[in-house]
Structure 1
């Protein structure tokens, strides 16, 4: 373990006695250089509104086609004439 810690430029802490090993580890961590860490959080959303928008456009297109051919009920109603 000592060789591994030396190879990684680290420090070996023997943990023969659990309290002593933890205390040594806490002391070593306290001596490390402290710096602020900046974190950026990115959210990746799965946009599925395009299906609803395509359906709405299709219904709107069908409405324009049907509106050109007035049915019998709509033909009797004339909202834009002065009587």
Structure 2
């Protein structure tokens, strides 16, 4: 059985709206922007807006991408 990453429980107090953090989480996933967008259920344009800082992502979107990155790191 493979080790699964330990994730913290969701906590909206951890919401980070910094566009650089969005890009960091996506990079950490090792996936393309399009693939990340598809996996969390948003358009590629929405994801690009988060990265550019023209729109803030929601905490649920942040947590979904953090989970995606954590599980991708574990593979």
Q: What is the TM-score normalised by the length of structure 1?
A: 0.21
Normalising by structure 2, what TM-score?
0.22
Please say which structure displays the higher CA radius of gyration.
1
Higher helix share: 2
